[in-house]
Structures are given as structure tokens and as C-alpha cells.
Structure 1
């Protein structure tokens, strides 16, 4: 990309608020300036430039966005959301490098990202425990790291309450978990149901608690959770479901 193309791209991004202000047009320049949070002189220059580019059209009642302008606005909004999502996920991306997850960064622009604080050593575990304890129907996930005993006990409590659990673990992790806590199915009462699969190549660590997705990043050196992202975006939830089902389809059921 040459310098001119870069300049044009930056200009388009800066024009985003003007295009958005005209999305439900036509609107006059005074209202455009108010909606976009800019001066009237800025609105004047921007509408003139955008009209020359074919992204706005002028009518008797003001300016409105064109079809091409709407497409450019959608692309710029997606780009901004991706940048914002990547920035929000920064603590987690230190531990997670799954390409499909990175491609979904825009869907995590509003996610809650929890990382450790020296003043709150169990911050991640406490937040995770609250998510688990709020589960009422089903939890499923795949992890290649053992959580703390408190998180395991929170899951067992949900099992005893009748929550369905589907889990996918590497064989070594399953053996370690079983040695520490016994088979997962033994913690369920008559109303609970569990299925456990083993597969040694998990693309990402994630868990879904009802309609809440948690993407987990393990600090391998310390053997603890390094960061988590908590989201309820429908597209992200669909990705987690499809990722889990694809791995489960290639896995071996053990419970």
C-alpha cells in the first residue's frame, strides 16, 4: 500500500462520524455537525469531499449517504471495532494465539477482560467462580490447563444442582483431573448429566456457561490463569459452539 492509499484510508476512517450522521438522512450541515460532534466548517469540508467521492449525495433537504457510502461506513466501523477489540483483548493475547479467535476481535470490543492484580491475587478465580455459580442449564468447554480447586468445586456444585456438563480435555489432563477429583460423572446427582471426551490437540481454551462465553489464557510458567475474556456476543458464542463441536467430533468419549 503506497502513501496515497494510506492517506485515503485514514481520511475514510476520519469521515466515519460524518457518514454515520447522514445514515438516516437527508440532514443539513448544522445537524451533521451536531451529530458528528464537529464544527460546521469541518462538516462543510467533509460533506463536500464525501460528495465528490460519491459517498454522499445532496438533496433539497440535505445530505444522505449513498449505497457505496453505506458500505464504506460498515467497513470502517468493523475496522474500528476490530482495533478496539484487539486493544481490549491485549492481556489475553499474551497467552492465546488462535487465528480464528484473533479474527473475531471485533466481537470482543465490549468484552470483560480480567487479568491479575497484585492487590487482588485471586481476581480471575473469583470472577470465574461467579460465572460458574450463575449457570443454570448447561456448561461446556475444552481446556488443557487445570483450574483451581475452588473452580472445580463450583463446577461440581452446579452438577449436583442438575446442570449438564460437556467437557473436552487432553488425555494427560483428564488423567490428572480424575486422579485429583475422581470421574466427573461421580459428582452429578440423578438430575445432572456429564459427557467427557479426550483429544490431545485443542486449538483454544474456552468454556460456555449458559449464554456466557469465557476464553481462557493459561500462564504456563506459573501454572495459573493469566487472563480471561468474558462475552455474550452471539457470533462469538456461535464460533465457540462450532469450535467445540469440531474438536469433539474428532475426540474419544471416556465418560
Structure 2
């Protein structure tokens, strides 16, 4: 085993470079031929890599097979945890983009096990479908910046609200106007139902939804404005943060006493 470890940097670089082999051996001892096949490398490469890892004390050869030493097992566990953390960080990239600088600070660690639904990989309606599935399971709904979550949410929640889904929504004025223009009949019906309350706010950082048991973050595409990701979780820390954020914007927002075009115009004029 080598003894010259300047701050462990050389070993760290070697571990990162040999992570696939370390991961393969974490499952159990393997002979050289199996390692070659598993890693899709040549005989000379397999020999060179096993020799290097053995020199660092990470593996040993026993009865013709290579196995991790006790030190190697510890390192393999660290590598596996690191890779899992990196995968989580990659999945949550849309979240990082929108919560940076938001106060109170988002407890990002509370989203480590979140469900992340993106509009990529051939399913542009994935985030919307996820939102709709959660709406079907909830009895209350609070949200702001609906276009970052579900641009057609009026279609998706109209019937639920009429059936008694208690809903509070904060919208930007231009989005509220768009809803009024595109769904005039439904707006009248929702106004009459008295289960929907709406307020206006001209600066919303991202889409936020609070269901009975989960909270969700909606992220828009910066160029097209359409939803590109929906991240939802049921952790208490995330919920506490989401409720604090929502109440803050709700208290700042302009009250919309009635849900119809005239009331909307009056609210916008009062706010300018």
C-alpha cells in the first residue's frame, strides 16, 4: 500500500477514475475475465487498473479473484453515497435554478427524495399530468404562478372547485387577464361557487402548489414560458417552507373580491 498521500489528493483522483471498477467489486469478488467483460475494457487495462488499486490498498487478489479490502469497502461505500448525492443534485437542477435567493431560504435537502417530472424525454405534458394526478387526491389547493405549473389548470380543476375543492390562487395580473379572456364561462361559474379565492401579485419567483399531503414547485422554460419541470415532495420541512412562502405572497397580494373581468380591472388599477 502506498504511503505518500499528499492530502489524499492522489488517492481521490484514482478513486474517481476507477469508480466503475470499485462499484463492480462492491457487489463481490470477481476474476479478471469477468471484470473485463463487466467494465468492457481490455486485458491490459484491467490488469493496470487492478494493480493500481491494489497498490493503494483498495483491493487484493484471493484465489484468482479480486476483492475489496476492508479499506476498499469503506471507500466503495463513500463512492456509492457520492454518486447517489450527485444524481440527486442533477435531478434537482431545475429547483436550484428558481429558489436561489428566495427568502426564507429553501431547505433543498428536504427535496432529496422528491419526485421530479420533466417535460423532456418525449413527454412534454409530464409536469402537467403529475399536477393533475395530485389534484385528484387533494381536498384543498393553494398555488401561485399557475402557468409555471399548469397553463390549462382552469380545465383541470374547474370541476373539482365546483364540487367543493377549496382553492386559493395568486396570479400575476396578465395571467389573470388571460384566464378571464380564455375561460369566461368557467370564471363566472367559479365566481358563483365561492370556493375559489384569487389575489394578484406582479412578482412571483416560480410556481408553487400546496396540496393536502404534498407540495410542488413548478419551473417554466425561460424562453417559451411553458412548464418544463414539476418537483413535489411530502417532507415536513419542505411543507413548512412552502406555507411560509405562500402566506408571505398572499398577504402582499392585491385582493380580488369577485372573480370577473370588472373586478380584475379594478384590482389592477388599484394596485398601479
TM class by smaller structure: 0.5 to 0.7
SS of residue paired to 1:155: helix
Residue 144 of structure 1: how far off its partner (Å): 6.2
SS of residue paired to 2:216: strand
Partner of 2:183: 181
Residue 234 of structure 1: how far off its partner (Å): 0.9
Distance 1:193 1:251 in 2: 19
Alignment partner of 1:122 is 2:125: yes
SS of residue paired to 1:216: strand
Distance 2:237 2:188 in 1: 31
8 Å contact from structure 1 (residues 167, 195) kept in 2: yes
SS of residue paired to 1:162: coil
Distance 1:103 1:130 in 2: 25
**Change in 2 beyond 3 A, CA 1:186/1:206:** same
Superposition map of 1:140-219 within 5 A: 140-143=142-145, 145=147, 147-149=150-152, 151-182=153-184, 184=187, 186-187=189-190, 190=193, 193-219=195-221
Superposition map of 1:79-98 within 5 A: 85-94=88-97, 96-98=98-100
* Aligned-residue RMSD, C-alpha: 3.4
SS of residue paired to 1:99: coil
Distance 1:155 1:144 in 2: 12
**Change in 2 beyond 3 A, CA 1:252/1:126:** same
8 Å contact from structure 2 (residues 118, 126) kept in 1: yes
Superposition map of 1:46-57 within 5 A: none
The higher radius of gyration belongs to 2
TM-score between both structures, scaled by the size of structure 1: 0.61
Residue 42 of structure 1: how far off its partner (Å): 3.9
Residue 235 of structure 1: how far off its partner (Å): 1.0
SS of residue paired to 1:145: helix
**Change in 2 beyond 3 A, CA 1:98/1:141:** farther
**Change in 2 beyond 3 A, CA 1:106/1:252:** same
Residues 16-49 of structure 1: CA deviation (Å, up to 9, x unaligned): xxxxxxxxxxxxxxxxxxxxxxx88449x99xxx
Residues 211-238 of structure 1: CA deviation (Å, up to 9, x unaligned): 2111000113223101110111111111
Task: Give the gaps of 5 or more residues in structure 1.
Answer: 11-38, 47-76
Superposition map of 1:72-111 within 5 A: 85-94=88-97, 96-100=98-102, 103-111=106-114
Partner of 2:252: 250
8 Å contact from structure 1 (residues 140, 208) kept in 2: yes
Distance 2:123 2:228 in 1: 13
